[in-house]
A and B are shown apart, each in its own frame.
Chain A
Amino acid sequence: MAMVFIPSLMQKLSEGNSKIEIEGGTVRQIVNNLDAQYPGFKDRLSEGGRIKGNISVAIDGEITPLGMLEKVGADSEVHFLPALGGGA
């Protein structure tokens, strides 16, 4: 299962857990399954079926432009980070 790292400001949703193992082959499945286990994550992370514009997703250390569509491996690490505004 992928290891999902929970940002400190979202850990009240995850009962204080900073890392959670979640099943899922795509970011969309990860978000859905995370929300099933800890309700509220889907609203915090996504809007209209897409990752919110001010949040980015990193899979195995690399920020993906594909958002919900990005593939996630069985041993992947998933991080939710602030989006790199300012024209990175």
Chain B
Amino acid sequence: MTQTLDYEPNMVLATKTYDVVGTRPVRHDGADKVTGRALYGADFATAGLLHGSILRSPHAHARIKSIDTSAAKALPGVAAVVTSADFGSDSDAVVDLGEGATSLKWLRDNVLASDKALYRGHAIAGVAASNPHTAEEAVGLIEVEYEVLPPVVTVEDAMADGAPILHDDLKTEELGEQTDTVSNVAQHFQHKKGDVSKGFAKADVIVEREYRAKTVHQGYIEPHNATALWNNDGRLHVWCSTQGAFTVRDAMAQLLDMPVSKIRVTPMEIGGGFGGKIPVYLEPVAALLSRKTGSAVKMVMSRADVFEASGPTCGSWSRVKIGGTSDGTITACEVELACEAGAYPGSPVGAGAMCALAAYDIENGTVDGYDVVVNKPKTAAYRAPGAPNAAFAVEQAVDELAQKLDMDPIELRLKNAAKEGTRRVDGPTFNRVGLVETLEAMRDHPHYSAPIGENQGRGVAVGFWFNIGFDSSVNLAVNADGTVILTEGSTDIGGTRASIAMQAAEVLGIPAEDVHPSVVDTDSIGFTAVTGGSRTTFATGWAAYEAAQSVKKQMIERAAAIWDVDADAVDMNRGVISSKSDPELSMTFKELAAQLGSSGGGISGTASVSPTGVGGSFAGNIVDVEVDPETGKTDVVRFTAFQDVGKAIHPSYVEGQMQGGSVQGIGWALNEEYYMNEAGGMDNSTLLDYRMPTSLDLPMIDTVIVEVANPGHPFGVRGVGEANIIPPTPAIANALQRATGTRLFETPMNPVAITAANGD
């Protein structure tokens, strides 16, 4: 049935147009993907390939007293067994692999546990065998003697007096100062602006609440995989599914104590990552097994392994106290945010705390952050890590304040909205940002004034993410037929082959289809940081822009040489090279490309950048929910996502990012959680029991792309991959409150929670 809409479901509020940027060409990798020919890590095969399997801890917290691998080694078909001892290093140096600094011992122990198993699923030993079944059978023959210890799986329990301690030598650090307290709290920090006590004294209304968000997984469809070949020449080649081939290379170099020049990492196609495919898990084990056997070793996680042994994002506890005057001015806000790091320090609480109050121009505020270890897998990034946890709390408190002040929740946000020049509670001031424009787009959208049905409620919320720059490299080479080869080191998760190629095409004045992008291995391109932090279209796109400028300059010089005129007298616009003074002297990019071989040789351009000028992104949601009053089942009946993206290079992929982030946020709000048993294990480590929303559960997610150009990028790009997951959880909580009259303070807000809160 075709539904007729009385509004535009996908709007682009563009402020500047280009020839290629902002159009919607077919993605360059589309044919390979839809025909099933794209090669993923699990497709990898080579002669003499061995298959690996991992023994994982059945206990959430246990001391490892001994490991006996003799029976496994004796099984016919088994080629090698490795444990943590095979790393051959006990260094505890501090290393930074692009995810913040951490101890090398912790990195190593997360790959293969040495003295303690710190979560159920923690890898203990690896086996390589002639086939996967033999490897699995051998894993079952490894005998481990454990001293089982009591687990702790929430930040509140982990911070409590007398809690089981995960690391005997972990002492709380307070922004560079180590305290003497052995604790599960790895770090405490504080942001402070103004004087909150004075601010609360001015308030007419104060709201104070506690909120809890559960641990959730990114839920990428492709499990982790890795194949490693430690060659006889001492070089290691790794093929894997990763968001950052260079990050894998650098991690392997640290873990295996070898130079980066001896490691080559080939990124295979990736079936989703969302931040979870930045750390290494299988790669070092496959490498150790390959070193022992001389053969390539391939390892693939099961779904249960993915849930129990890769990195989810954090569960959290938070407290928010917010005060405002009767005219809607927020006078003070106090936030405490404690985030699970998992088994080793390094939760996303730093980012969450910086984002917590970013949407508001508040005179008086404090944010205290706590990084807390618990007996769960070490957390990894997940779209705007930490920010959804903070927003679930702050955006509900703001909503409740609006209700108590009898104000429209968008108008309250507009009255207090952060803008260019606003000093954030964490200190720095904002450059040009588009929160006001995003809120105005929300207020003016037909969705916000549409009638609402019985048992339905409408909620709104906003969220902020910084986005990042970091290093990127791009090479361009002009073919004789006028097409251009583009090589890059950025894994393409969400259509970035297209968004990067389009920026080169815009500079060169040629169609996007004439630029052929390839993601290449670490031996074939300059250093490129991870595809993460919403940086790829911004930073790698910038590298493509610079490389294209180099090609453009050389094309102008070549035309000038052919015409025997000064290069300053030649221009290149929209793919046509012409003399500024002689209209007879003109040729297209293709015509000149055909002459390169006979006029001095090929032309190529290269650029390595580490750009500043990063532009943060604000996102907002309007969501309508309908709650069955008997069962508490919630249906999202209408959802509109708004985001200031700076400039949408390829609007279709921007819309896809906004829709994807929204759906993941909806899942976090309504259904998803690590359901932990008393022994500290996850009880729902299958996709049947871990309930992610599917297309059958949801309406079409409408999108409004707001374009407030980032002055720090040639085309105004901000980055789009993350801010969109922040507002859904509080927007849904706010909608549920209006549908049921009851506010929920903990995710998931599932039928059990809704009926319990309503006293049924």
Q: Show the binding face of A for B, using Cβ within 8 Å.
A: 5, 7-10, 18, 43-45, 47, 52-55, 58, 60-66, 77, 79-88
Contacts and interface: CB of A to CB of B under 8 A. Distances in A.
A86 B385 CA distance: 7
A65 B380 contact: no
Nearest to B384: A88
Contacts of A54: 100-101, 173, 175-176, 187
A73 to B, nearest CB: 12
22 contacts: A7-B189, A8-B192, A9-B188, A47-B94, A52-B176, A60-B428, A62-B431, A64-B612, A65-B471, A77-B429, A79-B428, A82-B175, A84-B348, A84-B354, A85-B351, A86-B100, A87-B348, A87-B380, A87-B532, A88-B385, A88-B466, A88-B533
Contact of B427 (A9, A53, A81, A83): A81
Nearest to A81: B426
Contacts of B613: 62
Contact of B428 (A18, A45, A61, A83): A61
Nearest to B353: A82
Contacts of A63: 466, 468
Contacts of A82: 175, 187, 189, 349-350, 353-354, 369
A18 B99 CA distance: 29
Nearest to B469: A65
Nearest to A53: B101
Nearest to B190: A8
Interface in B436-458: none
A35 to B, nearest CB: 12
B286 interface: no
B278 interface: yes
Contacts of B347: 85-86
B21 interface: no
A58 B470 contact: no
B696 to A, nearest CB: 31
A12 to B, nearest CB: 9
Given A81-B426, A86-B381, A9 B348 contact: no
B346 interface: yes
For the complex of A and B, list the 4 residue pairs with the smallest distance between their C-beta atoms, beginning with the closest. A53-B101, A87-B381, A86-B348, A85-B100
A75 B533 CA distance: 29
Contacts of A83: 100-101, 350
B349 to A, nearest CB: 8
Nearest to B387: A88
Interface residues of B, number: 57
Most buried by B among A45, A66, A82, A88: A88
Interface string B338-372: 00000000111111011000000000001001010
A86 B190 contact: no
Most buried by B among A53, A83, A86: A86
A65 to B, nearest CB: 6
B704 to A, nearest CB: 26
Nearest to A12: B177
A43 B614 CA distance: 30
B190 A9 contact: yes
A65 B174 CA distance: 22
Contact of B99 (A55, A60, A79, A87): A87
Contact of B350 (A47, A58, A80, A81): A81
A9 B612 CA distance: 28
A86 to B, nearest CB: 3
Given A82-B175, A84-B351, A87-B532, 4 more contacts: A44-B175, A53-B94, A63-B466, A79-B427
Most buried by B among A55, A58, A60, A85: A85
A87 B431 CA distance: 23
B151 interface: no
A18 to B, nearest CB: 8
Nearest to A13: B177
Nearest to B313: A86
Contacts of A18: 192
B176 A44 contact: yes
B529 to A, nearest CB: 9
A66 B469 CA distance: 12
A87 B614 contact: no
A10 B175 contact: yes
Most buried by A among B94, B313, B428, B468: B428
Nearest to A44: B176
B302 interface: no
Nearest to A41: B176
Contact of A88 (B351, B353, B426): B351
Most buried by B among A53, A61, A80, A82: A82
A61 B431 contact: yes
Contacts of A85: 99-100, 346-351, 371
A88 B758 CA distance: 38
A38 to B, nearest CB: 14
Nearest to B612: A62
A62 B313 CA distance: 25
Interface in B155-171: none
B385 A55 contact: no
A86 B388 CA distance: 13
Most buried by A among B346, B385, B427: B427
Given A44-B176, A86-B350, A87-B380, A58 B101 contact: no
B90 interface: no
A79 B613 CA distance: 17
Contacts of B94: 47, 53
A55 B469 CA distance: 17
A9 B175 contact: yes
B470 A65 contact: yes
A77 B275 contact: no
Most buried by A among B177, B379, B430: B177
Contacts of B638: none
Contacts of A10: 175-177
A18 B194 CA distance: 11
A86 B316 CA distance: 14
A5 B466 CA distance: 20
Contact of A62 (B173, B348, B371, B614): B614
Nearest to A58: B428
Contacts of B371: 85
A86 B390 CA distance: 14
B386 interface: yes
B610 interface: yes
Contacts of B192: 8, 18
B473 to A, nearest CB: 15
B380 A86 contact: yes
A60 B471 CA distance: 20
B189 A86 contact: no
Contacts of A61: 428-431
B191 interface: yes
Contact of B175 (A7, A47, A62, A65): A7
A61 B358 CA distance: 12
Contact of B346 (A58, A60, A86): A86
Contacts of A7: 175, 189-191, 427
Nearest to B533: A88
Interface in B725-743: none
A53 B612 CA distance: 20
Interface string B308-342: 00000110000000000000000000000000000
